[in-house]
Amino acid sequence: MPLTCHECGAPDCRDLFDRLLALEFSRPDPYGRLHAVTVPAWFLQHPDRAPDGTRTDHWAILQRWQRDGLDGVHDVVRRRRVANRRGQDLPTAMDEPVPPVPDQVSTAVTIGHVAGPGRDFPEIGHAARVADWLRAIATS
Ligand SMILES: [Zn+2]
């Protein structure tokens, strides 16, 4: 019997997230290229499990995605890698003020939707299902 997540309401949520991460690490397209947005999305819906101090940045990343798409987020990731290598402060995800993070983001769309009806993250439509998830959270 599936366990319903007490934070987002999706059945077997943590198991689905682990399976998604495994796909992201093994298959760049269409999964791995979305890793920079799926991790913030999942943690925003799971504040009890999010590493301390990451919520504001995760929120800013989704705001950046909403404004500039995946290319904008990948630009942040690239600039952070360079700054990290040089021992510099990491650039912020947004170059303009970001609305405050809501205490509770929308859980109208969860990782259960991203997994699809067979709960196996089918390749076809994956990016669109992730976009549904991100949009629901970013507009909370
Ligand atoms: Zn959950």
pLDDT tens-digit readout, 37-77: 999 999 999 999 999 999 999 999 999 999 999 999 999 99
pTM as predicted: 0.95
**What confidence tens digit (pLDDT) does each residue in 101-115 have?**
999 999 999 999 999
Distance from the CA of 2 to the center of ligand 1, in angstroms? 12
Describe the crossing of helices 126-138 and 55-85 by its angle, rounded to 10 degrees: 120
Residue 27 in any domain: the answer is: yes
3-state secondary structure of 17: helix
Residue 2 in any domain: the answer is: no
Distance from the CA of 107 to the center of ligand 1, in angstroms? 9
Distance from the CA of 68 to the center of ligand 1, in angstroms? 27
Percent of the chain residues past pLDDT 70, beyond the cut: 100
Residue 113 in any domain: the answer is: yes
| pLDDT score recorded for residue 101 | 94
Residue 8 in any domain: the answer is: no
Looking at the structure of the chain, the number of domains it has is: 1
Distance from the CA of 10 to the center of ligand 1, in angstroms? 5
